[in-house]
Amino acid sequence: MRMRRAHSVEQVRAAEATLLAQLPGGTLMQRAAYGLSVAIGNLIGFVYGARVVLLVGSGDNGGDALYAGVLLARRGASVTAVLLSDRAHAEGLAALRRAGGRIGAAEDIPGADVVVDGIVGIGGRPGLKPEALALVQLAARHGVPMVAVDVPSGVDVDTGETPEPHVRADLTVTFGTHKVCHLVDPAAAACGTVHLVDIGLDLPPATAEAFQAEDVRSLYPVPDGESDKYSRGVLGLMAGSAQYPGAAVIATSGALGGPVGMIRYVGPDSVAAEIRAVHPEMVHGEGRVQAWAVGSGLGQALDKQAVARLLAGPEPVVVDADGLTAIDGPVAAPALLTPHAGELARLLDVPRAEVEARGLEHARMAAERFQATVLLKGSTTVIAAPDGRVRVNTNASAWLATAGSGDVLAGLCGSLLASGLSPFDAGAVGAYLHAAAAHLAADGAPLTAMTLATHLPAATRHTLTP
Ligand SMILES: NC(=O)C1=CN([C@@H]2O[C@H](COP(=O)(O)OP(=O)(O)OC[C@H]3O[C@@H](n4cnc5c(N)ncnc54)[C@H](OP(=O)(O)O)[C@@H]3O)[C@@H](O)[C@H]2O)[C@@H](O)CC1
Ligand SMILES: Nc1ncnc2c1ncn2[C@@H]1O[C@H](COP(=O)(O)OP(=O)(O)O)[C@@H](O)[C@H]1O
Ligand SMILES: [K+]
């Protein structure tokens, strides 16, 4: 599968307008409704005799729900529409009545096999009105599966933010392209499985992209017959301290699980000894490198001037953890900054809760301010380039939330940078493989940072083998 691309509401509206001008009226909605009805049938596993409740708002999102209801009613489902507005899609409503559907109310929800959220789509503002919220909560209380039409109503479609109450879906069926809310948390977590129905939109370059295995395959630096350890890339690592020696060991493991040919560690003898005990192939001391990874576990040993020298270039650099505190303006070196929400909050001098609620916005802001690619870690990882491009990684495992897993990522991204990828590509490939390794390592149970790192080669093998 290739890159998942998300477009803004404005881009979708423009593409829709072009197509609407060329097609007979109602064609797009019929395409959407057909895909929606098939996906609903697949989710619940049967259609004949199924009890389907449609929550119908005032716009075309409700229209999609009504026409999907028509198709399901024709296949023998018992379809009930709960109208949340007196302006529900008139033709859709008439068609549902002709197909044998009826107007219902809240009482229909507890016994339903599925509830379809056609409250609002891309025309919606964040939040749900009290009446809609009550119906959505009723369905959740009774464990009725919820299918969102286009987007879970109430989320912020273009940012993935959820400042107000919203629908939590088991399945979201979207049309033409993904929207940002399908890829970026917290909204992405409210989508459940996302199913894309092609309706023939001709779209411009995406607002945000999510890598799939094929994208990683096309970028990963696989050595060839001419390669040697230097041409594969040498990574300089400035990490760990007497306080946190483990961070240097773990970052080295992450780097060696990537494509780099050699690691040079720059730091105290005591830490070097700890790394060597696990990775005897590590070389201790300065020398030529193709990229740097700096910051993980430096703690109080942080030498801001040494970090500042690396930030001045010319080698590309991954800046993690304590290393981030040395940044106070645009970074001259090609750089990949890897903060979590707390670290990004400190960098931007805003409360952490704001970064958590509006991750995409803050990652973009920092990328522009520091002229560096910013990889914001979290349940969704957002990677923002200074030129405005955005990628997100959505395939992570919550088992990754364990001490040291960020050090693995910093080492891996450094390794990718040293082997020639740009900071933006290194961030996207690194986040993807880090998450893939987590799935292999965890396999439904806890993992440690070291087991995560040791699963990087297997994750890479799975990803690179079509
Ligand atoms: N684009 C495409 O290519 C295709 C689009 N298609 C479909 O059309 C959908 C977009 O339809 P749309 O433009 O009619 O808007 P929609 O989301 O139904 O909202 C309508 C109205 O709801 C209201 N409202 C707003 N916020 C609210 C809230 N929180 N709570 C309650 N009400 C709220 C507000 O009205 P107001 O309250 O301002 O009067 C607003 O005008 C799209 O998501 C997809 O499903 C497909 O058919 C095929 C191709
Ligand atoms: N709930 C979660 N779901 C998926 N991934 C997560 C979750 N929480 C954290 N992660 C990932 O785990 C890693 C944690 O990194 P970090 O916060 O730097 O931890 P540490 O400093 O202990 O190494 C990041 O890659 C982050 O994206
Ligand atoms: K919806």
Quickly list H helices, 142-286. Answer: 180-183, 213-219, 245-256, 269-278
Residue 38 host element (H or E): helix 27-44
Looking at residue 225, its pLDDT comes to 87
For the CA of 297, the nearest ligand? 2
Confidence label for 230 from pLDDT (cuts 50, 70 and 90): confident
Angle at 355 between CA 338 and CA 377, to 5 degrees: 30
| Domain locations in the chain as residue ranges | 4-210, 213-464
Q: What is the DSSP string of 53-78?
A: EEEE-SSHHHHHHHHHHHHHHHTT-E
The predicted-structure confidence for 127-139, as pLDDT tens digits, reads as follows 999 999 999 999 9
CB of 58 closer than 6 A to ligand 1? yes
Check: CB of residue 2 under 8 Å from CB of residue 178: no
CATH number among 3.40.50.1220, 3.40.50.10260, 3.90.1150.10, 3.30.70.580, domain 4-210: 3.40.50.10260
- The pocket of ion ligand 3, defined by CB under 5 A, consists of 117, 148-149, 153
**H or E element that contains 42:** helix 27-44
C-alpha 81 – ligand 3 centre gap (Å): 14
Closest CA to ligand 2's atom 22? 403
- Whether the pLDDT of residue 1 is over 60: the answer is no
What's the CA-to-centroid distance between 193 and ligand 3, angstroms? 14
Mean pLDDT (whole number) for 291-307 = 95
Q: Is 297 annotated as a binding residue?
A: yes
The CATH fold assigned to 213-464 is UDP-N-acetylmuramoyl-L-alanine:D-glutamate ligase (3.40.1190)
Please tell me the distance from the alpha carbon of residue 383 to that of residue 373, in angstroms, as a whole number: 7
Question: 4-210 with 213-464: one CATH topology?
Answer: no
Residue in 70, 168, 210, 62 with CA at minimum distance from that of residue 122: 62
CB 58 within 8 A of CB 87: yes
Which residues are near ligand 2 (CB < 6 Å)? 340, 377-379, 381, 396-398, 400-401, 403-407, 409, 434
Mean pLDDT in residue range 381-393: 96
Does the annotation place 125 within a ligand binding site?
A: yes
Ligand 3 geometric centre to CA of 20 (Å): 21
- Which residue carries 């990574």 as its tokens? 235
Give the distance between the most distant pair of CA atoms in the chain. 81
Q: Is 59 touching ligand 1 by the criterion CB < 6 Å?
A: yes
pTM for the structure as a whole: 0.91
Quick: pLDDT tens for 33-68. 999 999 999 999 999 999 999 999 999 999 999 999
155 CB near ligand 1 (under 6 Å): no
Instruction: Give the pLDDT band of residue 2 (cuts 50, 70, 90).
Output: confident
Per-residue pLDDT tens digits for 183-198: 998 999 999 999 999 9
